[in-house]
Amino acid sequence: MMKQYIVAYDITCQKRASKVRKLVYSYSMSGQKSVLEVFLDRKSLNELKRHLEPLLKKKDSVNIIEVSSEVMVFGKANFLDYDNGVIVI
Protein backbone atom coordinates (compact mmCIF):
# COMPACT_ATOMS: atom_id res chain seq x y z
CA MET A 1 0.00 0.00 0.00
CA MET A 2 1.32 3.42 -0.97
CA LYS A 3 1.67 5.97 1.83
CA GLN A 4 2.31 9.66 1.66
CA TYR A 5 5.55 11.05 3.11
CA ILE A 6 7.21 14.42 3.34
CA VAL A 7 10.97 14.33 2.82
CA ALA A 8 12.91 17.35 4.06
CA TYR A 9 16.66 17.58 3.86
CA ASP A 10 19.50 19.91 4.78
CA ILE A 11 22.83 18.87 3.31
CA THR A 12 25.97 20.85 4.12
CA CYS A 13 27.95 20.06 0.95
CA GLN A 14 26.56 21.24 -2.40
CA LYS A 15 27.91 18.19 -4.23
CA ARG A 16 26.18 15.78 -1.80
CA ALA A 17 23.07 17.98 -1.77
CA SER A 18 22.85 17.62 -5.54
CA LYS A 19 23.06 13.82 -5.27
CA VAL A 20 20.43 13.71 -2.50
CA ARG A 21 18.16 16.08 -4.45
CA LYS A 22 18.40 13.93 -7.58
CA LEU A 23 17.65 10.76 -5.60
CA VAL A 24 14.68 12.17 -3.66
CA TYR A 25 13.24 13.91 -6.74
CA SER A 26 13.21 10.53 -8.51
CA TYR A 27 10.60 9.41 -5.94
CA SER A 28 8.70 12.69 -5.58
CA MET A 29 5.37 13.88 -6.91
CA SER A 30 5.84 17.53 -5.98
CA GLY A 31 7.79 19.79 -3.71
CA GLN A 32 9.94 22.85 -3.39
CA LYS A 33 13.71 22.93 -3.01
CA SER A 34 14.50 20.65 -0.07
CA VAL A 35 10.96 19.63 0.97
CA LEU A 36 9.21 17.08 -1.20
CA GLU A 37 6.03 15.03 -1.21
CA VAL A 38 6.50 11.36 -2.04
CA PHE A 39 4.20 8.34 -2.24
CA LEU A 40 6.01 5.14 -1.32
CA ASP A 41 5.21 1.55 -0.54
CA ARG A 42 7.32 -0.24 2.08
CA LYS A 43 9.76 -1.58 -0.52
CA SER A 44 10.33 1.86 -2.08
CA LEU A 45 10.75 3.48 1.34
CA ASN A 46 13.44 0.94 2.28
CA GLU A 47 15.11 1.42 -1.10
CA LEU A 48 15.16 5.21 -0.66
CA LYS A 49 16.66 4.89 2.83
CA ARG A 50 19.26 2.41 1.60
CA HIS A 51 20.35 4.78 -1.20
CA LEU A 52 20.35 7.86 1.05
CA GLU A 53 22.53 6.52 3.86
CA PRO A 54 25.83 6.36 1.92
CA LEU A 55 25.36 9.93 0.68
CA LEU A 56 25.07 11.52 4.15
CA LYS A 57 27.67 12.84 6.57
CA LYS A 58 27.26 13.66 10.29
CA LYS A 59 26.31 17.33 9.68
CA ASP A 60 23.59 16.42 7.14
CA SER A 61 19.97 15.75 7.99
CA VAL A 62 17.13 14.04 6.17
CA ASN A 63 13.68 13.72 7.70
CA ILE A 64 11.13 11.33 6.22
CA ILE A 65 7.77 12.01 7.80
CA GLU A 66 4.73 9.82 7.21
CA VAL A 67 1.61 11.87 6.66
CA SER A 68 -0.89 9.97 8.77
CA SER A 69 -3.66 12.51 9.19
CA GLU A 70 -6.01 14.33 6.85
CA VAL A 71 -4.15 16.40 4.27
CA MET A 72 -5.45 19.91 3.59
CA VAL A 73 -4.51 21.59 0.32
CA PHE A 74 -4.86 25.27 -0.58
CA GLY A 75 -4.26 27.49 -3.59
CA LYS A 76 -2.93 25.67 -6.65
CA ALA A 77 -2.27 22.49 -4.67
CA ASN A 78 -4.09 19.33 -5.66
CA PHE A 79 -4.65 16.35 -3.41
CA LEU A 80 -3.14 13.26 -4.99
CA ASP A 81 -4.30 9.84 -3.86
CA TYR A 82 -2.18 6.93 -5.07
CA ASP A 83 -3.19 4.15 -2.70
CA ASN A 84 -4.16 1.97 -5.65
CA GLY A 85 -2.28 1.39 -8.85
CA VAL A 86 1.18 2.09 -10.10
CA ILE A 87 2.84 5.41 -10.84
CA VAL A 88 5.20 5.61 -13.81
CA ILE A 89 7.13 8.82 -14.30
Least Cα distance to 56 among 24, 13, 26, 6 occurs for 13
Mean predicted confidence (pLDDT) in 22-43: 85
**pLDDT of 7 higher than 50:** yes
pLDDT digits (tens, 9 = 90+) for 57-78: 999 999 999 987 776 666 655 5
Q: Which residues contact 57 (CB under 8 A, 6 or more apart)?
A: 12, 13, 16
Mean predicted confidence (pLDDT) in 36-54: 92
Q: What is the pTM of this model?
A: 0.73
When the candidates are 1.10.357.10, 3.30.70.240, 3.40.640.10, 3.40.50.1820, the CATH number that belongs to 3-66 is 3.30.70.240
pLDDT at 50: 94
pLDDT at 29: 72
Higher pLDDT, 56 or 31: 56
